[in-house]
A and B are shown apart, each in its own frame.
Chain A
Amino acid sequence: MMTKIAFVRKKEIPPSAPPITEVGLIGWLRQNLFSSWLNSILTVLSVYFIVIILWDFIPWAYGGHWNTKSLRECLDLDPDVACFSVLTARWKQLLFGLYPAEEYWRPTLTFIFLLLAIVPILFPKFFRFFWFSIIYPGLAVWLLWGGSFWSISIVYIGLTLGALFFLTLIRRYLKNYMIAAIFAFLFTAVFFLFISNPLVGLLNVILPISLPFVESLKMGGFTLSLIVGVTGIVASFPIGILLALGRQSNLPVIKMICVGFIEFIRGVPLITLLFVASVLLNYFLPPGTNFDIVLRVVIMVTLFSAAYMAEVIRGGLAGLPLGQHEASASLGLTYWQSQRLIIMPQALKISIPGIVNTFIGLFKDTTLVSIISLRDPVGLASTIRADQKWNGIYWELYVAIGLMFFIFCWGMSQYSQYLERKLKTDK
């Protein structure tokens, strides 16, 4: 006897819509903001906090005055809003310091060129423009300080001749790199000691190109921060790599010098080093020498961050398995070849976050030069506040300066995260 089947569903039941509390805006709110009573309290507190901050800030900033002559005028108009007039009146000073006004195009151009010079380094797509990044430092020095074009380009000429001499020696006459390097070094030294000055004189007569000279104490504002910061970043990176290698080296004398240097620099605050640069350096140099204060500061900042950089890179080196060193040695690579091709690319990749943090730290530390009375933005802020017209102004200035630094530093950290993602080989 057959069982009678009353009903068989032929089609699958369509899945019912998820409960409204689990998807969409409500679901998102429930999961992310009100998942438990503790979270709900936190959410309410946070929203309250944000609202009271914005409640005060937006009217303050939005209704701000931009075109008054002094703080007094601002307060007479409406004491409860921002007085951005100080920025309108002094923005040139904040950007350029005491740089002569008719020459403002020079730092501006230098900054635009800086952006162009960074592009080939940051984005490999544009690597064919790398030559610009190489000539940029000389160009920047010439544009900022002025003077004869040839006295800067002679450095490039000399170094190019030295490099050519080295390559010719290697290709034609000598096999040993070290001896060739020594000869090339001597050649370059002779060039700079005896030939360069007459050559510059000659070139100045034939083709005089020069800009009015601007002395270092005139540099200030963000121009100064960028000069110190960018030079420090560019110079501290290679020095840091060398120090890190020296610290890992199995040659005891070199290792000891590197360890001593790194530990000393890391042990003292940057301020004391800047004081050494401004007060004590004259003791250590031959009597009568007195070289540029900005250069001294740049050197100290560079050495300071090089020591930190060295430790970061050492961390990266320590993070590499020993097998990488051994494998590259067993392939017959020399020390420098294996560093260049095997070790450094991997070690640097691991240490990208640390390296960029050091760069950011260096850029922020440029504000400390205000303590040895150079006119960086923070130093200028107190100068501006000492002015009768703007006496008593705080937030407008500080917010503007802080925002500028924030944009630069935050940009750097975002780039480092992009680089980390791009270089990630293990998914």
Chain B
Amino acid sequence: MSSPTLPPSESFKFSMLLSDTRYRGMSLQVITFIIFMAVFFWLVDNTIKNLALLDKDVSFNFLWLRAGYDINQRLIPYTSDSTHGMAALVGILNTLLVAFVGCIIATVLGLFVGILRLSKNWIVAKLMSAYIEGFRNVPILLWIVMVFALLTEFTPAPRAFKGAEPEATMLFFESIAITNRGTYFPAPVLAEGAYWLLLCFGLSIVASIYIIRYANKQKKVTGKSLPTFWISVAVIIFPTLILFFAMGQPVSLEYPYLKGFNFKDGIHLRNSFLALTLALAFYTSAFIAEIVRAGIMAVSKGQSEAAASLGLRPNKIMSLIILPQALRVIVPPLISNYLNLTKNSSLAIAVGYMDVRGTLGGITLNQTGRELESMLLLMGFYLAVSLLISSFINYFNRSFQIVVR
């Protein structure tokens, strides 16, 4: 038996740093790091020099100065006397509002279109694929300005509602007015005791969740399933309804009405908000539809056949077998589309909606001349949102992916 021969000990040569695989990775990293740091410091150095030339400093104090401009849509109290920081906050809330409403509409539309796209009905499937291709292949900016044009040019002016025989009428029993200055909805007015109603409503939602949980537990033990859907609907609706009438209808609707040349009262949704939200929702829904379709098609046919051979009914096959598996494929890209919608909402400037880019990255930036700080804050906001959402995707993937071996 021969003893293992050791490789001849080599002396270290300088060229081995590049040619020997043991050292090459290390030297490559060191070189990259040096170049990276050099570029970084070069940029920082340039910035310092440029700021010194312009006699500027880096300071975020402007956030506490008076803003001096108005924002026409705000979710929190704000006047032109508020600070730039408040203006940024109003903008952030406006961005989140568009993103939230847009995501809901986009999901509903996308689900609808995606499922109909798979329909066996030839004309419906073709119509839906025309919808998808149409929205996906035309820039979102164009859709935003088009929807805005549609809302402002093809709707009647408020004065068209005037007179004994008006040119335009309000929809849904005189409750919704679509005008070229925006759409007016009835607003709920909370009288005394309305909070009890809200509390009752909240409690019944909690109760219905518990009922569903209890039913699921029972199903696991006994194998019998309760009609949970109808029970929870009843639980959510009836107590609140009974309380509503028992307390003498504490919530009423305040209808918009025409006064002078404009509508008064009610909830006023501006065209800028509507156009941005609807365009973003339509555009994103086309992507969501494709995701939904891909998700449903990703569940192999054997799954539904196996379920059918076990004797499950079609709706049970959908809810118990296909959807849970399809959701695993659907949810991560769905959420990243929500993220895209949020980022695309920065196109608000095209229709004059005051989102965070319009306030912090627009008027505040121009008024204070703090380009560097404003852009940093703006990017920080978007980065924070996107990191939050992507960490949620990662969490979802970890907890719901199929565990292989």
Q: Is A168 an interface position by the 8 A CB rule?
A: no
List of B residues within 8 angstroms of A381 by Cβ: 145
Q: Is A331 an interface position by the 8 A CB rule?
A: no
List of A residues within 8 angstroms of B390 by Cβ: 263
In Å, the complex CA distance between A366 and B119 comes to: 35
In Å, the complex CA distance between A47 and B121 comes to: 12
Check A254 against B29 for contact (C-beta < 8 Å): yes
Q: Is A5 an interface position by the 8 A CB rule?
A: no
Q: Is B346 an interface position by the 8 A CB rule?
A: yes
Check B29 against A50 for contact (C-beta < 8 Å): no
In Å, the complex CA distance between A178 and B20 comes to: 11
List of B residues within 8 angstroms of A276 by Cβ: 375
In Å, the complex CA distance between A206 and B397 comes to: 66
Check B347 against A368 for contact (C-beta < 8 Å): yes
In Å, the complex CA distance between A269 and B375 comes to: 12
- Nearest chain A CB to B135 CB, angstrom units: 10
Q: Is B85 an interface position by the 8 A CB rule?
A: no
Query: Which one, A46, A179, A263, A285, contacts B46 given CB within 8 A?
Result: A285
Count of chain A residues near B, Cβ 8 A: 61
Q: Is B269 an interface position by the 8 A CB rule?
A: no
In Å, the complex CA distance between A286 and B375 comes to: 20
Check A252 against B372 for contact (C-beta < 8 Å): no
Q: Is B231 an interface position by the 8 A CB rule?
A: no
In Å, the complex CA distance between A267 and B19 comes to: 38
**A200-223: which have CB < 8 Å to B?**
none
Q: Is A129 an interface position by the 8 A CB rule?
A: no
In Å, the complex CA distance between A370 and B139 comes to: 12
In Å, the complex CA distance between A264 and B387 comes to: 9
Check B15 against A179 for contact (C-beta < 8 Å): yes
List of B residues within 8 angstroms of A179 by Cβ: 15, 18-19
Check B149 against A42 for contact (C-beta < 8 Å): no
Q: A279-B371, A283-B47 are in contact. Are A409 and B123 (CB under 8 A)?
A: no
Q: A272-B346, A378-B142, A398-B146 are in contact. Are A284 and B375 (CB under 8 A)?
A: no
Query: Which one, B18, B19, B25, contacts A251 given CB within 8 A?
Result: B25
Check B19 against A364 for contact (C-beta < 8 Å): no
Q: Is B38 an interface position by the 8 A CB rule?
A: no
Check A267 against B387 for contact (C-beta < 8 Å): yes
Q: Is A185 an interface position by the 8 A CB rule?
A: no
**B2-40: which have CB < 8 Å to A?**
15, 18-19, 24-25, 28-29, 32-33, 36
Q: A268-B343, A378-B139 are in contact. Are A46 and B124 (CB under 8 A)?
A: yes
Count of chain B residues near A, Cβ 8 A: 57
Q: A39-B121, A46-B124, A409-B136 are in contact. Are A282 and B344 (CB under 8 A)?
A: no
Q: Is A358 an interface position by the 8 A CB rule?
A: no
Check B139 against A364 for contact (C-beta < 8 Å): yes
List of B residues within 8 angstroms of A39 by Cβ: 119-121, 124
In Å, the complex CA distance between A401 and B334 comes to: 29
B49, B50, B140: residue with the most chain A Cβ atoms closer than 10 Å: B50
Query: Which one, B24, B121, B385, contacts A43 given CB within 8 A?
Result: B121
Check B142 against A32 for contact (C-beta < 8 Å): no
Q: Is B293 an interface position by the 8 A CB rule?
A: no
Check A280 against B386 for contact (C-beta < 8 Å): no
Q: Is A415 an interface position by the 8 A CB rule?
A: no
Check B138 against A269 for contact (C-beta < 8 Å): no
Check B121 against A364 for contact (C-beta < 8 Å): no
In Å, the complex CA distance between A43 and B138 comes to: 27
Query: Which one, B53, B123, B141, contacts A33 given CB within 8 A?
Result: B123
Query: What residues of chain B have their CB less than 8 Å away from a CB belonging to chain A?
Result: 15, 18-19, 24-25, 28-29, 32-33, 36, 43, 46-47, 49-51, 53, 116, 119-124, 127, 133-134, 136-142, 145-146, 149, 153, 343-344, 346-347, 349-350, 357, 361, 371-372, 375, 378-379, 382-383, 385-387, 390
Known: A42-B123, A46-B124, A253-B33. 16 other contacts (CB 8 A): A32-B120, A32-B122, A39-B120, A46-B127, A179-B19, A254-B29, A267-B379, A267-B385, A268-B379, A269-B343, A269-B357, A275-B361, A276-B375, A279-B371, A284-B43, A409-B138
Query: What residues of chain A have their CB less than 8 Å away from a CB belonging to chain B?
Result: 31-33, 35, 39, 42-43, 46-47, 49-50, 176, 178-179, 250-254, 257, 263-264, 266-272, 275-276, 279-280, 282-287, 360, 364-368, 370-371, 378, 381-382, 392, 394-395, 398, 401-402, 405-406, 409-410, 413
The 10 closest A-B pairs by CB, nearest first: A409-B137, A267-B386, A32-B122, A269-B343, A364-B139, A267-B383, A253-B29, A269-B346, A367-B139, A394-B149
